[in-house]
Chain A
């Protein structure tokens, strides 16, 4: 396996001087060819900024991004992006087929070839026969399939996906997750997907990178050794999946993530216990909850030094989290 993406010392800050906001700090990681890597991190931790830097949509203020060895400056030809908001990223005045053909317009591809390739890729995402419709005539899930088809039509070396399934319902989300894995295997694509959903990252990925709160730094790099053939029900029930999910959740709860992360150790559990009280995070129990935030009521009330009475489950923790996220 060769290295597809090489991110080294990537830093991005908005603004300058005292008002500067560092969104991403000194990130270094690589993604191998044919790998599906997920980046998971708390909301507002700079995941999208990271993705925009990697895609060349914005120039990073420091560090470098290399795609199969070439320094990225501006959007590379063999890179494609799927955005979260399909309704805002598809062109409403173009038919589905024309939307999918769009990236080929700027390449030396004949009209007939463009048409044929659009049809092929639409079929591979399970949308044959809707080419003549307009995106707004389709359901949300189908629209996101169109976005995926558009991203795949130019056969990109690297596909970046920014929270691609965050705006669809649970059922569709599962279908799209399976589609992503299938397409990745069939086409041998390299995919880097950003999400805030722990379950999704574990289910989809060959590898999960856990990011800390802003400024984003990598806290852990986990290999997901689940079988290649995954199933929405049985995989999610498997012990392996549950324990991996727990591990990621625990990492996300750890003080390293909750604070701004400088530390790069993955041994979160031992450290978190000693720092739980001042960090305001509930360390030991949180992992069991997996989905984070549930059943922490009494602990949150005692461990976090809350200013007022803690009403419902996890209020102190939740508000603490939002406060930090916005600061």
Chain B
């Protein structure tokens, strides 16, 4: 809770600095509206059904993308991590696909899938699957042979060692991958909504705000909401990760 409070101080400080910078004229207010104005807009927007629907659409797309990315990334990582031949065969392909930014694929996806929710989900899954896949593969590479020997010497067969030893051992690494993927998926969903001009969503809302006679307070309020959502998601995941994988934390501390 204390770290949460500390994190909050930094955030509030940033808003304060922003307010002062605009009020003092360091940043022109036709360029960036002051934090107080954005805050007012933000609160009013929270009462608007249209805005709330946009936020829900975005968060839902994000949640589905993350779920699909986990459902694809973890099993694929397990497979590649435990079969070295497959891993070396797929390395070049993965390294070719991975650096391609999701937004670069927008035109392709718009042609093939359109610009509906499935388009943004597809692209967000594409962007988010990599950290999960990589962390899962490497978690398997990192596993201590002594741990596997102990399992085998205790009578566990290969499949049992995989489920009861390799998988729990990999879990904290995979979880870190999921945490990174969560932020990436959110960025991807909002970017695609913006660039592909989806019918609904936070990205679409920000786009409209910018085009409608420069409603910059709306643009900023949408942006702030995206930031807050990302921050909340990350904090929640960090917190639950600490609770779930207390043993991994301690192990690292002991190793240092």
Chain A interface residues toward B at CB < 8 A? 52, 55, 57, 75, 77, 79-81, 83, 85, 87-93, 102-103, 105-107, 134, 136-137, 150, 154
**Top 8 A-B residue pairs of the complex, sorted by shortest distance between their CB atoms:** A103-B154, A81-B153, A88-B146, A89-B150, A92-B247, A106-B155, A93-B168, A136-B250
CA of A106 to CA of B164 in the docked complex: distance in angstroms? Answer: 11
Q: Mark B239-256, 1 if CB is under 8 A from A, else 0.
A: 000000101101100100
CB distance from A239 to the nearest CB of B (A): 39
For B146, B152, B254, the residue with the greatest tally of chain A CB atoms inside 10 Å of its CB is B146
CB distance from B152 to the nearest CB of A (A): 6
CA of A134 to CA of B245 in the docked complex: distance in angstroms? Answer: 12
* Contact (Cβ within 8 A) A85 B247: no
CB distance from B116 to the nearest CB of A (A): 42
* Contact (Cβ within 8 A) A107 B146: no
Q: Chain A: which residue is nearest B251 at the CB level?
A: A92
Selected contact of B165 from candidates A52, A80, A88, A91, CB within 8 Å: A91
A57-B149, A83-B146 given; 19 more Cβ-contact pairs under 8 Å: A55-B153, A57-B152, A57-B153, A77-B155, A81-B149, A83-B149, A83-B150, A85-B146, A88-B147, A91-B165, A92-B248, A92-B251, A103-B154, A106-B156, A106-B157, A134-B247, A134-B250, A136-B254, A150-B154
**A residues near B95, Cβ cutoff 8 Å:** none
Selected contact of B155 from candidates A52, A75, A88, A136, CB within 8 Å: A75
Q: Mark B139-169, 1 if CB is under 8 A from A, else 0.
A: 0000010110111111111001000110011
**B residues near A154, Cβ cutoff 8 Å:** 154-155
**A residues near B150, Cβ cutoff 8 Å:** 81, 83, 89-91
Q: Chain A: which residue is nearest B253 at the CB level?
A: A136
Q: Chain A: which residue is nearest B247 at the CB level?
A: A92
Chain B interface residues toward A at CB < 8 A? 144, 146-147, 149-157, 160, 164-165, 168-169, 171, 245, 247-248, 250-251, 254
**B residues near A83, Cβ cutoff 8 Å:** 146, 149-150
CA of A107 to CA of B245 in the docked complex: distance in angstroms? Answer: 28
The SS class assigned to the B binding surface is helix
CB distance from B255 to the nearest CB of A (A): 9
**A residues near B157, Cβ cutoff 8 Å:** 106
**A residues near B160, Cβ cutoff 8 Å:** 105-106
**B residues near A137, Cβ cutoff 8 Å:** 250
**A residues near B247, Cβ cutoff 8 Å:** 92-93, 134, 136
* Contact (Cβ within 8 A) A102 B154: yes
Q: A57-B152, A75-B152, A77-B155 are in contact. Are A89 and B146 (CB under 8 A)?
A: yes
**B residues near A134, Cβ cutoff 8 Å:** 247, 250
CA of A91 to CA of B149 in the docked complex: distance in angstroms? Answer: 12
**A residues near B146, Cβ cutoff 8 Å:** 83, 85, 88-89
CB distance from A25 to the nearest CB of B (A): 23
* Contact (Cβ within 8 A) B144 A88: yes
**B residues near A92, Cβ cutoff 8 Å:** 247-248, 250-251
* Contact (Cβ within 8 A) A136 B251: yes
CA of A290 to CA of B155 in the docked complex: distance in angstroms? Answer: 40
* Contact (Cβ within 8 A) A91 B147: yes
CA of A137 to CA of B157 in the docked complex: distance in angstroms? Answer: 29
CA of A55 to CA of B151 in the docked complex: distance in angstroms? Answer: 13
CA of A81 to CA of B147 in the docked complex: distance in angstroms? Answer: 12
Q: Chain A: which residue is nearest B152 at the CB level?
A: A75
CA of A81 to CA of B250 in the docked complex: distance in angstroms? Answer: 26
Selected contact of B153 from candidates A75, A88, A105, CB within 8 Å: A75
**B residues near A105, Cβ cutoff 8 Å:** 156, 160, 164
* Contact (Cβ within 8 A) B155 A107: yes
CB distance from B160 to the nearest CB of A (A): 6
**A residues near B149, Cβ cutoff 8 Å:** 52, 57, 81, 83, 89
CA of A136 to CA of B252 in the docked complex: distance in angstroms? Answer: 11
What are 17 A-B contacts defined by CB distance under 8 Å? A57-B149, A75-B155, A77-B155, A92-B248, A93-B169, A93-B171, A93-B245, A93-B248, A102-B151, A102-B154, A103-B154, A106-B156, A106-B160, A107-B155, A134-B250, A136-B251, A154-B154
**A residues near B251, Cβ cutoff 8 Å:** 92, 136
